[in-house]
Structure 1
Amino acid sequence: MTFRSTSLSDWLDHQQRVHPRAIELGLERVRAVWRRLGAPVPAPVVVTIGGTYGKGSTVAFLEAMLAADGRRVGAYTSPHLLRYNERVRVGGAEVSDDLLVDAFARIEAARVGDTGDAEGLALTYFEYGTLAALWVFAHAGLDVALLEVGLGGRLDAVNIIDADASIVTTVDLDHQEWLGDDRDSIGREKAGIFRAGMPAIVAESDPPAALLDAAHRLGTDLRRAGHQYGYDIHADGTWRWHGGGATLALPRPGLAAPCQHANAAGAIAVVHALRARLGWNPAAIARGVADARVGARLQRFDGEPALVVDVAHNPQAAGVLAEWLRREPSRGRTLAVFGALADKDVSAIVAVLAPHVDRWYPAGLERDSPRGLDAASLVALFGASVDTARIAPPGAGVGDALAAACRAAQPRDRVIAFGSFFVAAAALEFAARR
């Protein structure tokens, strides 16, 4: 029997049960259901955004720039922080439960086919969400759709759509069990979103050779940071973008991390590559750079102590966070609330941040995800970079760890919460209550 419900939460619970695995890379099943839906095309112009780190920020810059130019933009991102609806935005607003439920009902009917066989074509939670976004976008009268890759690129569900331009933000070690154990292997997977003859933007300052080789072999219109475009940052954070004969004087990015100039520059390279179809409006680009916002990217909450929330969950992201901490020294101590999933390189993350953290508050995530580390297991992976005297007793969840850190903090101290989207979500809820 085909599943039916008018409740979004019921649909999300159902999706968790349909496929025996949370991740199942491959395009055959999701493409078959997409075709049964009538192969909805999300927008006249589609941009696919991949990379190890910086995808969400790049989407935010593109969304803000294009909206400032009067374009109707759809953005599909993942994961969400507080509400599933965050994943699908139209015109800058999260879509309603009703729209998502309608899309899921159509997907379910297409999945089980004419026989009504509940086994049907098994889709993962992410594949349901991707198809729902494509369906919603196709009926929303968009000018541009922005599709963020969930994992990898070549076999990710968003790759059933041929993008008019694609960008790979960065390439680093993450999800090695799915993508490979070195940057070349991971780079090849991420290059799978490129298309022959289409703009392929590489925002990584030092990309692996395999990524560039794949782009060249495919015959893409390759546009690489430091080659086809570049940027210069001034001491006050304002900057200049240049590429393809164009030069822009730009304000400090609205997102705080040092890497955000690179993310914004890559987004501008996308707009420049598509200027024949989307136009080239320097004022709108500058406004978008300044106005872009995305949750839990060095998001600061004032108070005593100040709270900073970030989704840094791999060594590369930890390095960005460490550089920000170095540039923005605390007037007092820095207390870190940290939680991670079992597939993360905890010792490498901790080693990068250890010089900038005075005391650690490990948070268990075993109640949030089957892959979540409990606090004691997390501490066991810290390695030698942190003296045990700097680690608070393990055993607490994120809320408990945050409360403990805030109780211990002096007025000039700051608390940073990072390590997983689960940590960030709990920290945002904590910030709303205090």
Structure 2
Amino acid sequence: MKFTNTEEVIHYLYSLPHVHPKNDLSFIKKLLQQLGNPQDQVKTIHITGTNGKGSTSYYLANLVKKAGQRTGLFVSPYVYRFNERIQLNNQDISDEDLVNVANTVQAAYEKLKQEDEQFSLVTFEYEVAMAFVYFEQKQCDYAVIEVGIGGEHDKTNVIIPEVSIITTIGLDHEKIIGPTIQDIAQEKSGIIKQNRPVVLGNVPDSVLSILVKKADKMHAPLLQLKHDFTIETQNGRLKYSDAKRSLSFAYRPQVEGYDIAVAVKAFLLLKLNLNDQEIEDAINQTQIPGRYHILQKEPLIILDGAHNIQAMSNLLEVVHAEAKKRHSHVYALVTMMKDKDLEQVFSLFNKDDQVLLTTLDYPRVAKENDFPIDIQRRYSYEGDYRQGFTKLKEKMDASDILLVTGSFYLVSAILNWKGKGNAG
């Protein structure tokens, strides 16, 4: 089979199964071996965490690129289009390159299937292989690799990175890598590699010992936020400091500050050549799609893909503080995947927030009856997200805030509908 356009590639990818009967790395390793192990031809940085891994990936990729390195970036999910998943120097993979690397992967896959008809690939394995083939072809100096889910068993965990990063640990994907936060920490610790440094972000004390123990066992130097480096808000700016330097960045919400600090610390470990001003510029210029994305200022419309307890708690803290400052109301258009902790997430909204539930035409997205019964009673539901968005906008005063959240799919749908600038 040979692909001729991106639609064929994407359609094929989504037709593949999502999980193997056994959750190991044997399939992806076999495929990469058939492809000549492209993942070993590029220096990598590996990033996991319940939240913040996407933002950290973008900050770090921007720093490495600014240091004059050809920089690959592999992230998920995408916001505007699939090609965002695989980037080179901040540019999405072109349609032509996407088709070419898919055909390379497909040829290797078909050869393995001839040898063993039981051999199969899941969607994410295929995407990971495409990314590594692309980064090798483009002779990347470094590639920033964001984990899909977890760590140890994630299909990206086939690399020996220059630095490993664990941004945060909280409850999400408990059915896959849980059920407890300790299980999740254990799974995420799987990206810590022998003699390679690991940078920890805002990790709860309850699981810190699991990560410290793993780092000790692997002789991996451990650098920890609030211990080896810090970030705090001073005079409306973010101040980073470690034993050797102090840096100052334009204000972002505190939780974003953690991601910046972790990215900066990991970057400094690479010993690439950037002065303090260049580091500050690289961070300040970084745009992260679908995270605290301001669609318009009056009324303030914020899009954010927060989709678990920790992320939603962080986001609502910022939004409610902003609303208090403005003496305004918060309106929210929300949908979520039905396998998330819906009750706990919705309990984070204030009583006077005006929440409207919606859905999307996507199998995992909650429909009206998938929301817990007390949430259905508490909030109205509008099956068409466009109508929901319009209804809420019509109720608002200029000082009010509209938040679109709960899923990157919803953020993506609104952005693609409204275009990159126009919210009218």
**TM-score under structure 2 normalisation?**
0.92
**How far apart, in 2, do the equivalents of 1:205 and 1:227 lie?**
12
Give the stretch that moved more between structures: 209-218 or 133-142. Answer: 209-218
| Corresponding residue to 2:318 among 324, 330, 353 | 324
Deviations 1:119-161 (A, max 9, x none): 5631111111111010000111222110000100101111111
Find the counterpart in structure 1 of residue 144 from structure 2.
146
| Corresponding residue to 2:292 among 292, 298, 323 | 298
Does residue 368 of structure 2 align to residue 372 of structure 1? Answer: no
Distance 1:311 1:25, change over 3 A: farther
SS in 2 for 1:364: coil
What letter is aligned with 2:234? H
What letter is aligned with 1:218? M
1:184 CA displacement: 1.1
Give unmatched runs, 5+ long, in structure 2.
Answer: none
| Corresponding residue to 1:189 among 175, 183, 187 | 187
**How far apart, in 2, do the equivalents of 1:274 and 1:304 lie?**
42
Deviations 1:59-109 (A, max 9, x none): 111122222222221100001112100001101100111111111111111
Find the counterpart in structure 1 of residue 39 from structure 2.
41
Give the stretch that moved more between structures: 117-126 or 286-295. Answer: 117-126
Find the counterpart in structure 2 of residue 339 from structure 1.
335
Find the counterpart in structure 2 of residue 29 from structure 1.
27
Does residue 354 of structure 2 align to residue 359 of structure 1? Answer: yes
Find the counterpart in structure 2 of residue 86 from structure 1.
84
1:24 CA displacement: 7.0
Q: Provide the alpha-carbon RMSD of the alignment.
A: 2.2
**How far apart, in 1, do the equivalents of 2:336 and 2:385 lie?**
11
**How far apart, in 2, do the equivalents of 1:362 and 1:29 lie?**
40
**How far apart, in 1, do the equivalents of 2:8 and 2:116 lie?**
16
1:331 CA displacement: 4.3
Find the counterpart in structure 2 of residue 240 from structure 1.
240
Give the stretch that moved more between structures: 311-320 or 113-122. Answer: 113-122
Give the stretch that moved more between structures: 134-143 or 61-70. Answer: 61-70
Give the stretch that moved more between structures: 107-116 or 126-135. Answer: 107-116
**How far apart, in 2, do the equivalents of 1:128 and 1:411 lie?**
46
Give the stretch that moved more between structures: 5-14 or 130-139. Answer: 5-14
Q: Is contact 1:40-1:138 (8 Å) kept? A: yes
1:398 CA displacement: 2.1
| 1:91-170 correspondence runs (5 A) | 91-113=89-111, 116=114, 121-170=119-168
1:114 CA displacement: 6.4
Deviations 1:167-224 (A, max 9, x none): 0000001001110111111011111111011011111242513222222222211111
Distance 1:235 1:378, change over 3 A: farther
1:230 CA displacement: 2.1
Find the counterpart in structure 2 of residue 411 from structure 1.
398
| 1:205-220 correspondence runs (5 A) | 205-207=203-205, 208=207, 209-220=209-220
**How far apart, in 2, do the equivalents of 1:32 and 1:318 lie?**
38
Does residue 375 of structure 2 align to residue 382 of structure 1? Answer: yes
Q: Is contact 1:52-1:170 (8 Å) kept? A: yes
Q: Is contact 2:48-2:166 (8 Å) kept? A: yes
**How far apart, in 2, do the equivalents of 1:86 and 1:33 lie?**
23
**How far apart, in 2, do the equivalents of 1:198 and 1:306 lie?**
44
| 1:35-74 correspondence runs (5 A) | 35-41=33-39, 44-74=42-72
Deviations 1:365-413 (A, max 9, x none): 3x22x21110343262639xxx83xx23x24132222122112223332
SS in 2 for 1:422: helix
1:10 CA displacement: 1.2
Deviations 1:277-325 (A, max 9, x none): x235322211122111111111112255331100100000011111111
Q: Is contact 1:300-1:309 (8 Å) kept? A: yes
Percent identical among aligned pairs is 23
SS in 1 for 2:151: coil
SS in 2 for 1:152: coil
Deviations 1:10-59 (A, max 9, x none): 12222222336489742110110000001013654210010000011101
Q: Is contact 1:130-1:157 (8 Å) kept? A: yes
| 1:10-25 correspondence runs (5 A) | 10-19=8-17, 21=19, 25=23
Does residue 254 of structure 2 align to residue 261 of structure 1? Answer: no
Find the counterpart in structure 1 of residue 411 from structure 2.
424
Does residue 283 of structure 2 align to residue 283 of structure 1? Answer: no
Distance 1:20 1:320, change over 3 A: closer
1:431 CA displacement: 3.0
Deviations 1:312-365 (A, max 9, x none): 00000011111111331244321100000111111111112235x521110123
Distance 1:331 1:161, change over 3 A: same
What letter is aligned with 1:48? H
What letter is aligned with 1:349? V
SS in 1 for 2:156: helix
Find the counterpart in structure 2 of residue 222 from structure 1.
222
SS in 1 for 2:24: coil
What letter is aligned with 2:210? A
SS in 1 for 2:250: coil
Find the counterpart in structure 1 of residue 387 from structure 2.
400
SS in 2 for 1:166: strand
**How far apart, in 2, do the equivalents of 1:265 and 1:82 lie?**
27
What letter is aligned with 2:260? A
Give unmatched runs, 5+ long, in structure 1.
Answer: none
Find the counterpart in structure 2 of residue 311 from structure 1.
305
Q: Is contact 1:374-1:395 (8 Å) kept? A: no
